[in-house]
Structure 1
Amino acid sequence: MKDLKIYFTSDLHGYVYPTDYVNTTEKNIGILNIINSFEKDDNTLIIDGGDTIQGSPFTNYLSNTDFDVHPIATIFNEGQYDFVTLGNHDFNYGKKYLKKYLDNLNAKCVCANVIDNTGELPIQPYQIKTMANGLEVGILGITTDFINRWERPENIENINITDTFDAVAKYFDEVKTKCDLIIGVYHGGFENDLESHELLSSTKENIAFKLCKEFDFDILLTGHQHIPISNKTIFGTHIVQTPHNGSKFVKLNLTIDDNGSINIISSLEEIKLNPNKEMFNKFLPLENKVQEWLDTPVGFLSTELQPGDRLEMALNGSHLANFINQIQLETSDADISCTAFANVIHGFNKNISVRNILSTYPYPNTLVVLEVNREILKLALERSASYFNNDNGNISISQSFLKPKLEHYNYDYFANIEYTFDLNKEVGNRVVSIKYKGEELNYTKKLTLVMNNYRASGAGGYECYDKCKVVKEIVLEMPEIIINYFKNNPNVTVDTTKYITVKY
C-alpha cells in the first residue's frame, strides 16, 4: 500500500498577512498562516491553483514598486510548494511582474494551455513526480481560456492562451501512460450543478464538469469560482475547490493498495492564527508600508456611501454606484456610464482613505469608451434586467446570478440615462423605456458609454458590446483613477439621481 498527501490552495489573491485590509484587526486568513499548517514529508505534494499574485492591497502596492524577488515566491518556497498553475488574475499586472514570481519559485509551473512564444516564462504543460514510496504522479495544469476575453492585450502579448479542453486532450493520454495517478490542476470551475447535474452555464469559462466526464482524472483540483468543495466525486474523479483570499485550504489523503484500488478523503481546513514567524518578520517592513499607504487620506464625500441589500440596490439604484459612474464620466467625457459591484462591497466613509478605495474597488480594471445606440443599450439593459426573478410579484435574485457561482458583478448600474424595467414581462423583453436628457432615445442617436475593460470585452453576458466602436481607452487602473478624482475634487457632492425605475 502507498500513501499520498496533498495540500491545495487556490485563489489566494495576494492575501499574505492575517488581515483583510478593511481594518488592521488580525484574521484567520492568509498565506503566512496557511504554510505554517502544512506537515510535509517525502510523500506529500503542495499545489496552488492560481490567482495568487493579484487581488489584495499588498499586491497592488507591490505592483507599483521596484523589486527583484517576488515576496509570494519566497513565501511559497518556505512553504515547500511543489507545483502551481496560473489563474486569469495572475496576468493583470503584466508579464514582467508575473515573470518575477515564476522565476523565483522552486515550485514548477504547469499550465498546458499557456504558451509563451518568447520562452521567457518557465511554464510546462505537465510534470511527472516520483514520490519517495515509488508512486508516479502526473500533474497536468490548465487555466480558463477566457483570459483571452478579459485581459488587456499588452499583458498577454506573445502569450497564447489556447482552448482549455483541447489542451487536456492533447496531453492527457501522454501523461496517463507515464504515471500511476493523474491529477488535474485547473484554474476553472464547474458549469453544472454538482448535485442535479443541471447545466448552469453554456460558456467555456468553466468546464470542470466536462473534464471529469470526458477524462478519467483521479483528482481534479479546481478554482476560480471560490466555491467550497471537498470529499466529492463525479464521474469517478475526486474534486475539490477552496474559497478565496486564503480563508481555507484543502487537505487530501490518498491510499492505493497493491491491486491498484484507490481511496481518497479530502477536507477543507480552517485557518489557525499562527503565521510563519520568519516570513512574517522578513516582509513586515513592506507590510507596514502597505498599511501606512492604505491610511493615506485622499478626500471627503458629502455623505457616507455604504452598500445596501443587493436586491434593494438593484431595484432602486445606488448612490454608491452613482459615485463610481460620476468618476467614470468626468474621467472619460463620455455621455453615459455603467458600473458594477464586486461580490463583496465595503463602501465609503465621509473621510476617504486609500484603504476605503481598495476595499470597495479591488479590481485593476481600466476604462473603455464605446460608441452605442438604443439597440445596443437595450440588449445590455436586458442582461441586467435578467438579474431579477418575478414569482407572482415576489421579486428575488435570479439563480443564474447565484449559481454555479455568485455573479453580482454582472448586474450593471447606469448613469445619465433614465431606464425602466417591467418585471411582469418575460426575460429579454423587460426594458420598456430608455431616456436620454428627458426624451426617449431614438434608434439613430449615437452615444458614448464608459465602462470597465472587463465589461467592454463582452464578458458576463454582455456580448452586445463585442463589435462596438472603441472611442477611447483610459489605461490607468480604477483605484488610481478614483484617487486622482479626489485630487481634482477634494470635497465631492455625490450624485443622488435615481436613474432606474422597476415595475412589478
Structure 2
Amino acid sequence: MYEVSNTTKLKIIYTSDVHGNAMPILYGTNEQADLGLAKYASIVKRVVRENENVIVLDNGDLIQGTPLMTHYVKEHQGKINPMIEIMNRIGIDASVIGNHEFNFGKKVLHDAITGSNFPWLSANLVNEDGEPYFGKPYIIQTLSNGLKVAVVGVTTHYIPNWESPNHIEGIQFKDALTTLKQWVKLIQEEEQPDVLIASYHGGFERDLDTGEATESLTGENQGYAMCQEINGIDILLTGHQHRMLTGEINGVLVAQPGNNGKMYGNIDIELEQNGTNWTIVKKKAEIKPINAQADEEIMLYMAELESSTQKWLDQPIGYIDGDMTISDPLQARLTKHPFIQFIQEVQMEASGVDISVTALLNNESRGFQSVVTMRDVVSNYMYPNTLTVLELSGKDIKLALEKTAEYFVLDDAGNITVNPTYIEPKPQHYNYDMWEGIHYTINITNPMGSRVEHISYHGSPLKEDGTYHVVLNNYRASGGGNFDMFKNKPVIKEIQKDTAELIHAYFEKYKTIKAEVVPNFQVISS
C-alpha cells in the first residue's frame, strides 16, 4: 500500500509600477478605464476569498505618476498618502522600494512608509553602517500546512543616476545582483523556506529566450543575471521596464505585469509534501487585466481627494494664440514644434541661461489647445522633474547631440523613423532631446557618432574647449538615459520647483502665449 502524499497550493498576486493610479480614470481625458487600485481591491478580495494560501505584494513605483498624487503632495500632505491607505485596506503583505518612490523627496517617502501597515523591502538600499535603510530586507510568511514562504526585495541600484541628490541623501545603493545573491544564500541557510520569492524593482537586460543583450549592460536591469547566477530563487517578480511578460530562465519562473495599474501578476504554485518539507511540483505565471468592478469602500474613501483633484485640473491657467497641438509625435521631434519651443522658453526664463534641453516625453502628449488647464499641463509633463543648470564644454554638448541622434534610423525605403531600441523592450521617447540656444543639423545618413553637423552658438561655431551653461531636467543632468557626458559636471544652479509648477507660473505671468518657433535645428536624411 502506497502512502498518498499531501499537496497544497500557493497563489501570489502582485502589482508593479502602479504609478499613482488609484482611480479607474485617465486623467488626461477623464475617461473611465479598466485600471487602478480601486478595481484591483475587488480582485484581491475575490482571490483571498477563493484561495487558502495567498500572498499579495507590490513591486514598487507606487506613490508617484498621476495628477492625483501631484495634487496630494501639493495640497493634502497632512493626510495619509492615499496610495498607502488603499494598500493598507487591500491588505498587501509587503512592497518594494521603486526608483520613483523618491521623486517627491524624503519626507513624502518617509511619511508613506510610516503610514504603511506593511513592510517595505529593499535589501540593497543601506545606511552608512551597511544595514538595510528601509528596515526589513525580507519577510517570512508561514501559511496553512506549515508552508513557509520567503519574500526578499531589491531595487535597481541605478537610482543615483536619475534622482536629485537631496532626495537620496544618506542612502547607499549596493549592487542589486550581488546583494540578492548574499541574501538568498542567507535566507536558504537560516530560514530554509519551502518557496523563495525575489521581488526586484528592475527588469531584464537580455532577451529571455536567447540571452542576447537588449540594452547597454549598465546594471540598471539585472533580472536575467539573477536567474542565471543565483541559486535558490523559485520566483523572480520584476517591474521597472513596464513590460508584460512571463517565462522561465534557468528554472526560475519570472513575471512582469506592465504599468499604471492596468494588469497584475498571478502566480500559481503546486507543492507536494516530503516529510516536513514541501517541494514545488508545478508553477505557472499569468498577467491578468484589472477589469473588475471598483471597490465601493475604496471609491468612497477617495471621493473627497478625487473631487479636489478634478477641480484643480479643470482650472484654466492660460491661453494659446495659434496652434500648439501635437498631431504627429515623430514630426514634432524632426522639426521644431511650438509646444517644444514653449517648454524651452519656460526653462530658460526659470534658469536665466540661454541654452536649454527638453524632450517630448511620450507619444501621448497632445500639446495645448487654445484654453490651457492644469489637466493639460500634467498630461503633457507628467514627471515631477526639477531643473538643473550645468556647466558643459562644447565637447560635452557635441557628445550629447550625438547620443540623442541615435534616436533615429532610416527604414528600408530611406525614410526617417524611430530606432527600435527606443521602443522595445521599453518605450524611451523621453531620451530624445531637442536643444535650444544653439543651431545644429542631424544627418541620419551618417554613421552613429558622427551625425551632428554645423553646431553654432550666437552665430559662431561651438568651441569644443569652450564652457557653456545649459538648463536641463534633473533626470538628464544626472546622466539619465545613458547621457554619461553629463555626470559629475559642475552644477551652477538648481531650481527646486517642478516643471509643472514652472509652467503654471509662466502662464500666470504672461496669460496668453503665442504659438511660434525659432527654427534652430533640422533632422535630414541626405
TM range (shorter): over 0.9
Which position in structure 1 is the counterpart of 2:4? none
- How many angstroms apart in 2 are the aligned matches of 1:353 and 1:81? 36
Match of 1:74 in 2: 85
Partner of 1:195: 209
CA offset digits 1:345-398 (Å, max 9, x no partner): 232222111110011101111101112232111100000111112356233221
What's the CA shift for 1:196?
2.8
2:63 aligns with 53
Structure 1 unaligned residues grouped into runs of 5+: none
CA-to-partner distance for each residue in 1:256-279, whole Å, 9 max, x for gaps?
123624311222212225111112
Given that 1:145 and 1:164 are in contact with CA atoms closer than 8 Å, whether structure 2 keeps it comes out as yes
Instruction: Summarize the Cα distance change of 1:261–1:289 in structure 2 as closer, same or farther, 3 Å threshold.
Output: closer
Q: Which residue of structure 1 aligns with residue 287 of structure 2?
A: 268
Moved more, 101-110 or 405-414: 101-110
In structure 1, distance between residues paired with 2:171 and 2:208: 33
**Quick check: 1:336 aligned with 2:355?**
yes
1:227-247, Cα deviation, whole Å (9 max, x unpaired): 0113x1111111111111111
> For 1:66-120, what per-residue CA distance to the aligned partner results, in whole angstroms no more than 9, with x for missing partners?
3242222221122110111010011111222112222222222211012256999
**One-letter amino acid matched to 1:56:** T
Matched position secondary structure for 1:32: helix
Residues 185-243 of structure 1, C-alpha deviations (whole Å, 9 max, x = no match): 0110111122332102211111111111111311111011100113x111111111111
Other-structure match for 1:181:
195
Distance 1:379 1:308 in 2: 30
Which of 362, 365, 382 aligns to 1:345? It is 365
State the match for 1:374 in structure 2: 394
1:89 equivalenced with 2:100 (yes/no): yes
* More divergent stretch after superposition (336-345 vs 360-369): 336-345
Structure 2 CA distance, aligned partners of 1:27 and 1:137? 35
TM-score (norm 2): 0.92
CA distance in 1, matches of 2:28, 2:292: 18
* Aligned with residue 42 of structure 2, among 12, 36, 55: 36
Q: CA deviation at 1:339?
A: 0.4
Aligned to 1:247: 262
**Equivalent-residue separation in structure 2 for 1:414 and 1:218 (angstroms):** 47
Determine the structure 1 residue equivalent to 2:452: 431
The verdict on how the C-alpha distance between 1:238 and 1:252 changes in structure 2, with shifts beyond 3 A counting, is: same
CA 1:442–1:122 in structure 2 vs 1: closer, same or farther (change >3 Å)? closer
The worse-fitting range, judged by mean Cα deviation, of 142-151 and 158-167 is 158-167
1:122 Cα deviation after fit: 4.9
The answer to which of 463-472 and 108-117 deviates more is 108-117
Provide the C-alpha distance between the structure 2 equivalents of 1:24 and 1:497, rounded to a whole number of angstroms: 34
Letter in 2 for 1:101: A
Contact 1:13 1:53 in 2 (8 A): yes
Equivalent position SS for 1:124 = coil
Counterpart residue number, 1:385 = 405
Structure-to-structure mapping, 1:92-491, within 5 angstroms: 92-116=103-127, 122-177=134-189, 178=191, 179-201=193-215, 202-216=217-231, 217-230=233-246, 232-258=247-273, 260-343=279-362, 344-391=364-411, 393-491=414-512
Query: Could you give the per-residue CA deviations for residues 457-490 of structure 1, whole angstroms, max 9, x where no partner exists?
Result: 0111211111422211111111101101111111
Question: Do 1:18 and 1:273's aligned partners in 2 also have CA atoms closer than 8 Å?
Answer: no
The AA in structure 2 aligned to 1:34 is Y
| Amino acid corresponding to residue 450 of structure 2 in structure 1 | N
1:161 & 1:315 partners in 2: Cα distance?
Answer: 38
Contact in 1 for aligned 2:155/2:202 (Cα 8 Å) = yes
Alpha-carbon shift at residue 5 of structure 1 (Å): 0.5
- Separation in structure 2 between the aligned mates of residue 466 and residue 212 of structure 1, nearest angstrom: 31
Worse-matched range after superposition: 94-103 or 179-188:
94-103
CA distance in 2, matches of 1:279, 1:462: 42
Which position in structure 1 is the counterpart of 2:21? Answer: 15
In the aligned structure 2, how far is the partner of 1:485 from the partner of 1:242?
Answer: 38
Which range is displaced more, 354-363 or 250-259?
250-259
How far, CA to CA, are the matches of 2:396 and 2:345 in structure 1?
A: 22
Contact 2:61–2:101 (Cα < 8 Å) also in 1: yes
Aligned pair in 2 of structure 1 residues 213, 317: CA closer, same or farther (>3 Å)? farther
In the aligned structure 2, how far is the partner of 1:339 from the partner of 1:499? Answer: 14
Is 1:335–1:447's contact at 8 Å kept on the other side of the alignment?
A: no
Identity of aligned residues (%): 34
Sort the Cα spacing of 1:308 and 1:428 in 2 relative to 1 into closer, same or farther, 3 A: farther
Give TM-score, length-normalised by structure 1: 0.96
1:442, 1:146 → 2: CA distance?
A: 32
Name the SS of the counterpart of 2:396 in structure 1: helix
Distance 1:122 1:473, change over 3 A: closer
CA distance in structure 1 between the aligned counterparts of 2:250 and 2:341, rounded to whole angstroms: 47
Q: Distance in 2 between matches of 1:151 and 1:442?
A: 30
Unaligned segments of structure 2, at least 5 residues: 1-6
Q: Which has the higher mean CA deviation after the structures are superposed, 291-300 or 191-200?
A: 191-200
Amino acid at match of 1:248: M
Displacement after TM superposition at 1:158 (Å): 2.1
Q: Does 1:6 align with 2:12?
A: yes
| Worse-superposed segment, 78-87 or 398-407 | 398-407
Task: Give the secondary-structure state (helix, strand or coil) at the position aligned to 1:186.
Answer: strand
Question: 1:342 Cα shift?
Answer: 2.2
Cα separation, 1, equivalents of 2:111 and 2:38: 20
Preserved contact between residue 326 and residue 495 of structure 1 (Cα < 8 Å): no
Structure 1 residue 42: deviation in Å?
4.3
